[in-house]
Structure 1
Amino acid sequence: MSKTILKIGITGGIGSGKSTVAKVFQILGIPTYSADDRAKWLMSNDPELRGQILESFGSESFLPSGELNRPFLAKTVFSNPEKVAKINSLVHPAVGRDFEIWSQHQTSPYVLKEAALIFETGGETKLDAVINVSAPLKIRVTRVLMRDKNRSEEQVNQIINQQLPDEIKNEKATFVIKNGPNKLIIPQVLAIHKKLISMDK
Structure 2
Amino acid sequence: MLVIGLTGGIGSGKTTVSNMFRELGIEVIDADEIARCISENNPDIKSKIKKYFGAVALDDDGNLDRKYLRNAVFDNEEKRIWLEKLLHPLVINKIKEKIKKVESDYCVVSVPLLFESGSESLFDRILVVDLPEMMQLQRAMTRDKSDKKSIEKIAKSQINRKERLSMADDIIDNSGKIDSLKKKVTKYNNLYLDLCKSRTG
What's the TM-score, normalizing by structure 2? 0.87
SS at 2:172 equivalent: strand
Q: Does 2:162 correspond to 1:167?
A: yes
Q: How does 1:109-148 map to 2 (within 5 A)?
A: 109-148=105-144
SS at 1:73 equivalent: helix
Q: Contact 1:135/1:179 (CA < 8 Å) preserved in 2?
A: yes
SS at 1:144 equivalent: helix
Aligned counterparts of 2:59 and 2:10: Cα–Cα separation in 1: 29
Aligned counterparts of 2:69 and 2:154: Cα–Cα separation in 1: 16
Post-superposition Cα deviations, 1:121-152, rounded to whole Å, max 9, x if no partner, equal 11111111110000011211221222222x10
Aligned counterparts of 1:170 and 1:50: Cα–Cα separation in 2: 35
Q: Contact 1:44/1:66 (CA < 8 Å) preserved in 2?
A: no
Q: Compared with structure 1, are the counterparts of its residues 105 and 48 closer, same or farther at alpha carbon in structure 2 (3 Å cutoff)?
A: farther
Aligned counterparts of 1:141 and 1:76: Cα–Cα separation in 2: 20
Aligned counterparts of 2:174 and 2:157: Cα–Cα separation in 1: 21
Q: Compared with structure 1, are the counterparts of its residues 186 and 162 closer, same or farther at alpha carbon in structure 2 (3 Å cutoff)?
A: same
Q: Contact 1:130/1:173 (CA < 8 Å) preserved in 2?
A: yes
Q: What RMSD, in angstroms, separates the aligned Cα atoms of the two structures?
A: 2.1
Q: Compared with structure 1, are the counterparts of its residues 153 and 58 closer, same or farther at alpha carbon in structure 2 (3 Å cutoff)?
A: closer
Tell me the residue number matched to 1:10.
6
Q: Does 2:74 correspond to 1:73?
A: no
What letter is aligned with 2:153? Q
Q: Contact 2:74/2:153 (CA < 8 Å) preserved in 1?
A: no
What letter is aligned with 1:30? I
Aligned counterparts of 1:144 and 1:63: Cα–Cα separation in 2: 25
Q: Does 2:54 correspond to 1:45?
A: no
Tell me the residue number matched to 1:156.
151
What letter is aligned with 1:29? G
Tell me the residue number matched to 2:184.
188
Percent of aligned pairs with the same amino acid: 30
Q: Does 2:164 correspond to 1:178?
A: no
Q: Which runs of 5+ in 1 are unaligned?
A: none
Count of matched residue pairs: 196
Aligned counterparts of 1:158 and 1:71: Cα–Cα separation in 2: 14
Q: Compared with structure 1, are the counterparts of its residues 58 and 154 closer, same or farther at alpha carbon in structure 2 (3 Å cutoff)?
A: closer
- Out of 90, 98, 109, the residue aligned to residue 94 of structure 1 is 90
Q: Does 2:190 correspond to 1:198?
A: no
Larger deviation: 88-97 or 56-65? 56-65
SS at 1:184 equivalent: helix
Q: Contact 1:10/1:112 (CA < 8 Å) preserved in 2?
A: yes
